[in-house]
Amino acid sequence: MKRTKTSKQWMQEHVNDPWVQRAKAEGFRSRAAFKLTEIDQKDRLLSRGQVVVELGAAPGSWTQVVARKVLPGGAVIALDLLDFEPISGVDFIQGDFTEEAILDELVRRLNGRHVDLVLSDMAPNISGIATIDQGRSIYLCELALDFAERHLVAGGNMLVKVFQGSGFDEYRKAMGRVFSQVQVRKPAASRDRSSEVYLLGQTKRL
Catalytic residue chosen out of the listed positions 35, 69, 161, 204: 161
Percent of residues in the chain assigned helix, strand, coil, to nearest 5: 40, 25, 35
19 has binding-site annotation: no
Q: Which helix (H) or strand (E) holds 104?
A: helix 100-110
Q: Can you say whether the dihedral through the CA atoms of 177, 178, 182, 185 is positive or negative?
A: negative
Q: Determine whether 69 is an active site residue.
A: no
169 has binding-site annotation: no
Q: Within 13 A of 90's CA, how many CA atoms are on the CB side?
A: 27
Task: Supply the DSSP symbol for 111.
Answer: T
96 has binding-site annotation: yes
10 has binding-site annotation: no
62 has binding-site annotation: yes
- Binding-site residues for S-adenosyl-L-methionine, in ranges, read 60, 62, 80, 96, 121
Catalytic residues: 161
- Binding-site residues, in ranges, read 60, 62, 80, 96, 121
